[in-house]
Amino acid sequence: MEYHVTLAEMLDARERRVFRQQELLTRYRLPMICFTMNIAGPVKNDPLIRKGFELGNRFLKEQLDSLKITPVYFTEFNEPSGNEAYYVIDADVLFIKEITCSIEDDSELGRLFDMDVLKPDGKKAERSDLDLPPRPCLICGGSGKDCARSRAHTVEQLRTKTAKILTRAVEDEDARLAAGLACRALLYEVCTTPKPGLVDREGNGSHKDMDIFTFMDSASALWPYFETCTRIGRQTADRPGLRTFDRIRFAGRKAETAMFSATGGVNTHKGAVFSMGILCGALGRLSREQWKDPDVILDTCAAMTKGLTDADFAGLTEENAVTTGQKLYLRYHITGVRGQMEKGLPAVRDAGLPVLKEGIARGLSVNDAGCGALLALMTAAVDTNLIARSSLKTQQETAAEIRQLLDREPYPDRENLRRLDREFVEKNLSPGGSADLLAVCYLLYFLETVHY
């Protein structure tokens, strides 16, 4: 429920802010940034406003970090009267003002930032000190001060515009972050070495039409698709999950075209277009706080794809079955990645991700923990790529061999991994489905551990 701040509360908040500023200036005798949000109307703080404030803090900290400036002191407050952050900085006042003005002027969201720079004597550094024009009005682009003084725009107009800016900014940041981590996961997967029968840093495995650079081209081409999927999830978050999936599936067809264009017709990531696209859609449906919980993400994926196998394979016969997946479903009732996704990717949840995290917790490199996770995935799910290149019997025998190896050595050494690779290449085997699930494991691991 929205909290409406009274005039008395706003006056009290202003007094507290002045007291905090004076106390910090007296204690440190250094320049200071006082960052607040420019929010019209009686609602000064809510989850959306808070997210905008967090973005502003992140933009400012990133700028300071890039310039190797470490604040002498930092604190922030989250109150009904608004959000406040204080940075005490040992640097030239006008240089600091240049930084804050660049953030305020760099984007539409920056118009909602008030990053006042105070000199040690308490006086403000002004935009005019840098020969910069006054800040524009949020609505018409004219003089912000003149419009505020004359009340040229209603509070409701300002609130509506503010909400649109905040919503768009948060959606943009979430989409960029999700897409970046998804592409990073794909690159980690192909770089994990050695992987039996798969493309990695040491070779092409059982593939003659692709190498590690083909995968890099493909992953780069898929970045816009992952952004789109995240946006679709956000835009359909208040509708049933199946609606999100339907829209992602349409976007996936375009993504496959982009992939084939980037790789010269080579199928590098068709499985990842399906699985990672659904994950990004799930992220769009969830808040950032929920991104750190793999179970919540995978449950959302399951809800988005409920009934998918039955829907896709309805009316399937030996006569009209074309793809390997369709034929395997008819002959052995193997549901492949569809069945995995409907159940919330149990191979990832119960095998791949725990093995990856456990390996890293033991002190293994991400690469070596990833190799162990890949093998665990091969034993936890039926890899239809292996069957397509051989037979169901070969896939079962291969999974049993790997299971025996993992019983002796949960994280096989390079020698054993390379031995498996030679065996896979000789038999022309490639566990591409398991590789796609490894990328999912990497994405979930990043979401859980990366600071954002």
| Residues 184, 128 share a domain | no
Strands, E assignment, 64-164: 73-79, 82-88, 113-118
Mean pLDDT of 310-335: 90
434 lies in some domain: yes
**Rounded Cα–Cα distance for residues 212 and 215 (Å):** 5
Mean pLDDT of 22-49: 96
Label residue 148 by pLDDT band (50, 70, 90).
confident
pLDDT at position 51 is 95
Label residue 74 by pLDDT band (50, 70, 90).
very high
| Residues 197, 87 share a domain | no
pLDDT at position 142 is 85
Cα dihedral 48/49/53/56 (nearest 10): 80
Report the CATH number that the domain containing residue 114 is assigned in CATH: 3.30.70.260
| Residues 353, 224 share a domain | yes
Mean pLDDT of 46-63: 96
| Residues 356, 240 share a domain | yes
Cβ neighbours of residue 229 under 8 Å, at least 6 residues apart?
A: 178, 248, 251, 277, 278, 280, 281, 284
Mean pLDDT of 101-109: 95
Strands, E assignment, 119-236: none
366 lies in some domain: yes
Mean pLDDT of 60-68: 96
Final residue before a domain boundary, out of 78, 106, 135 = 135
**Rounded Cα–Cα distance for residues 435 and 189 (Å):** 7
Neighbours of 234 (CB within 10 A): 21
**Rounded Cα–Cα distance for residues 69 and 161 (Å):** 34
Final residue before a domain boundary, out of 82, 107, 135 = 135
**Full residue range of the structural domain in which residue 32 is found:** 7-135
**Mean pLDDT over each residue of the chain, to the nearest integer:** 96
Final residue before a domain boundary, out of 135, 161, 189 = 135
| Residues 114, 66 share a domain | yes
Residue 91 pLDDT exceeds 80: yes
142 lies in some domain: no
161 lies in some domain: no
Q: What is the maximum alpha-carbon separation in the chain?
A: 85
| Residues 183, 330 share a domain | yes
155 lies in some domain: no
Burial of 68 (0-12, 13-18, 19+ CB in 10 A): exposed
Quick: pLDDT tens for 176-205. Answer: 999 999 999 999 999 999 999 999 999 999
**Rounded Cα–Cα distance for residues 151 and 436 (Å):** 57
| Residues 179, 88 share a domain | no
| Residues 183, 317 share a domain | yes
pTM for the complete prediction?
0.91
pLDDT at position 76 is 97
287 lies in some domain: yes
126 lies in some domain: yes
pLDDT at position 330 is 92
Residue 18, CB half-sphere, CA atoms under 13 Å: how many? 7
Quick: pLDDT tens for 231-266. Answer: 999 999 999 999 999 999 999 999 999 999 999 999
Total of domains in the chain: 2
| Residues 215, 117 share a domain | no
Task: Name the DSSP class of 109.
Answer: G
| Residues 414, 293 share a domain | yes
Decide if 411 contacts 369 (C-beta within 8 A).
yes
Residue 323 pLDDT exceeds 90: no
pLDDT at position 430 is 97
167 lies in some domain: no
